[in-house]
Chain A
Amino acid sequence: MNITAFIVDILQSGFSGLGAYLAAHVLLCLLPAFFIAGALAALMPKEAITRFLGRDANKWVSYPASALGGFFLAVCSCTIMPLFASIYKKGAGLGPAITFLFVGPAVNILAISFTGVQIGLDIALARVILSMVFGVLIGLLMAWTFRKDDQDHAEKTANNQLFAAKAKVPTHVVVFFLLLLGILLAGTLQIGLFRNVFFEFSIKSDWAVELQGILTRLIPPDPGMGVESISVHGLVLIGFLILIALTAIKGFKDIFSGFNTWTYITLGLITLTLIIASLSVLVDMNGFVIGLNGRLVAEIVLISAIWWMSARFFSADERQEWLWETWRFVKQIFPLLLVGVFIASIARTLIPAVWIQTLAGQNTIWANMMAVVFGVFMYFPTLVEVPVAQTFLSLGMHRGPLLAYLLADPELSVQSILITNTVIGKKKTAVYVVLVAIFSTLAGLIFGWFIK
């Protein structure tokens, strides 16, 4: 292979990944997921869960509450470490704190929805269920191993009012979350109800046909390697995403001085983009064939409900807080994710499939252990573990080790181990790391058995 062909090959793979990712996966999945994460950070009263994590909380309550807290409260790194330290030092103690720490990074709404769309619902569900169950188990094991320390601890820090505050999640907030979740599900579930086209019409368009030809030539699809070509529909949507990014900079930057024209333009564009994305658009020999489907109807109804609810039930402060948090997540995660997707797609052509197949093509203990070790030593920014996993999958990794990797990677990194160390000390951290490694390996192994 000469060098030019090689570079073309690499770039094709990189842009195909990026294009497929932006057009097909991001829109209906990550866009709503970012809004949900923002809403969880802005509108969810933390006390609704932390009230169950106090010193005197019953074990049967505090462990499940910690696992749920990992899901609802740990969307942001500003919350995870301080809350972990407080539960440990001033609240329910080492066990529930560990459960919270374990569940948090693996089971947030962004990671789960992204995993579901990119890799499959089976892995996403396994990630949720196994993280919660194993989180509780690891917490219990830690509490048991260090039961003497925990006793001293409890005596030293009695009488703390920190976890006494109570709060309930207001009904309108619950409904709002359900609606947002509905948008995510309606956009991503591949079921007949949403997919089947009930009305179809065509628009004659020569440029669309020509453009599709060019796109297919630039990035030829290769199903074997998981390479998708970019459709005209996808290209239009990418255009919209760029517009949204540009208007959001102006619209969301000073969100606290109130909504300005740019804010409304951005929100309008987001609505329009989600609606266009849910259409079924194909290009045949004559032009566009546009199909209306259940997804479209569901998205229109749900997004209208969100607009109405946020205008009717939430204060200006809450709306601003929500958008600010959402925008903060986007700024923090999205640019790194784009780079990650690009590089992971390039890696797909560089890494020989034989390597991956030999190391992790079968669901063995060794393969699962390798996957865990790789996850611990490679540090990827939030969510980037997902495109990396997808690359492994297309190269022939078994889904068992893949799950082991997906559990271990966000859970343990050199950085997070160091911070945990400052809170609970060397000995406990070491035991924790070993337990997480063992349990992630087991999770992959067990899941692998069920799959095949």
Chain B
Amino acid sequence: MEVKILGGGCSKCERLEAETRAAAEALGIKATFTKVKLISEIMAYDVMSTPALVVNEQVYCYGRIPNQEEIKVWLQDAIP
């Protein structure tokens, strides 16, 4: 599974990444994490603000930090 964290690298992005890693670990999902920091690359996705969570190239949320339960649902949803 491929997880991307979109955002300039502020503390919000770090927290989103930490939350997502924890959720993936709790579910026993193996995922690669990539940080997308360049605004031109971020704009390739349909997001309006950062941080944003992209799993397997699909945007799940942006502009806020979701809680563990939400992330777990999304990660399970993203399993092919």
Whether B31 is near chain A, meaning CB under 8 Å from some CB there, is: no
**Per-position contact with A for B1-29: 1 when CB-CB < 8 Å, else 0?**
00000011011110000000000000000
Q: How many A-B residue pairs have CB under 8 A?
A: 57
- Chain B residues whose C-beta falls within 8 Å of the C-beta of A81 in the assembled complex: 8, 39
User: Which B residues from 30 to 80 make CB contacts under 8 A with A?
Assistant: 38-40, 42-43, 46-51, 63, 65, 67
B residues near A, CB below 8 A? 7-8, 10-13, 38-40, 42-43, 46-51, 63, 65, 67
User: Which A residues from 310 to 363 make CB contacts under 8 A with B?
Assistant: 317, 321, 328, 332
A residues near B, CB below 8 A? 46, 50, 73, 76-79, 81-83, 85-86, 89-90, 160-163, 317, 321, 328, 332, 419, 422-423
> Given contacts A77-B10, A78-B8, A328-B11, are A89 and B43 in contact (CB under 8 A)?
yes
Does B47 lie within 8 Å of A86, measured CB to CB? yes
Distance A405 CA – B65 CA, assembled complex (angstroms):
36
Distance A162 CA – B39 CA, assembled complex (angstroms):
17
- Chain B residues whose C-beta falls within 8 Å of the C-beta of A78 in the assembled complex: 7-8, 10, 12-13, 49-51
Distance A46 CA – B47 CA, assembled complex (angstroms):
12
Q: How far is the CB of A134 from chain B (nearest CB, A)?
A: 24
Distance A321 CA – B65 CA, assembled complex (angstroms):
9
Does A82 lie within 8 Å of B50, measured CB to CB? yes
Distance A228 CA – B31 CA, assembled complex (angstroms):
58
Q: How far is the CB of B44 from chain A (nearest CB, A)?
A: 10
Does B10 lie within 8 Å of A419, measured CB to CB? no
Does A86 lie within 8 Å of B40, measured CB to CB? no
A-B contacts, 19 listed (Cβ < 8 Å)? A50-B48, A76-B10, A78-B12, A78-B13, A81-B8, A81-B39, A82-B47, A82-B50, A83-B48, A83-B49, A85-B42, A85-B43, A86-B48, A160-B46, A161-B46, A162-B47, A162-B48, A163-B48, A328-B11
- Chain A residues whose C-beta falls within 8 Å of the C-beta of B65 in the assembled complex: 321
- Chain A residues whose C-beta falls within 8 Å of the C-beta of B51 in the assembled complex: 78
Which residue in A46, A160, A317 is a CB contact (below 8 Å) of B49? A46
- Chain A residues whose C-beta falls within 8 Å of the C-beta of B38 in the assembled complex: 422
Distance A422 CA – B65 CA, assembled complex (angstroms):
26
Does A422 lie within 8 Å of B48, measured CB to CB? no
- Chain B residues whose C-beta falls within 8 Å of the C-beta of A85 in the assembled complex: 39, 42-43
- Chain B residues whose C-beta falls within 8 Å of the C-beta of A328 in the assembled complex: 11-12
Q: How far is the CB of A54 from chain B (nearest CB, A)?
A: 11
- Chain A residues whose C-beta falls within 8 Å of the C-beta of B49 in the assembled complex: 46, 73, 78-79, 82-83, 86
7 closest Cβ pairs, A-B complex: A86-B48, A79-B49, A82-B49, A85-B43, A82-B50, A78-B10, A78-B50
Closest to B9 in A: A78
> Given contacts A328-B11, A419-B39, A423-B39, are A82 and B67 in contact (CB under 8 A)?
no
4 A-B pairs besides A85-B42, A161-B46 with CB distance below 8 A are A46-B49, A82-B43, A162-B47, A423-B40
Distance A419 CA – B46 CA, assembled complex (angstroms):
19
Distance A79 CA – B10 CA, assembled complex (angstroms):
11
Distance A434 CA – B65 CA, assembled complex (angstroms):
38
Q: How far is the CB of A110 from chain B (nearest CB, A)?
A: 16
Closest to A423 in B: B39
- Chain A residues whose C-beta falls within 8 Å of the C-beta of B8 in the assembled complex: 77-78, 81
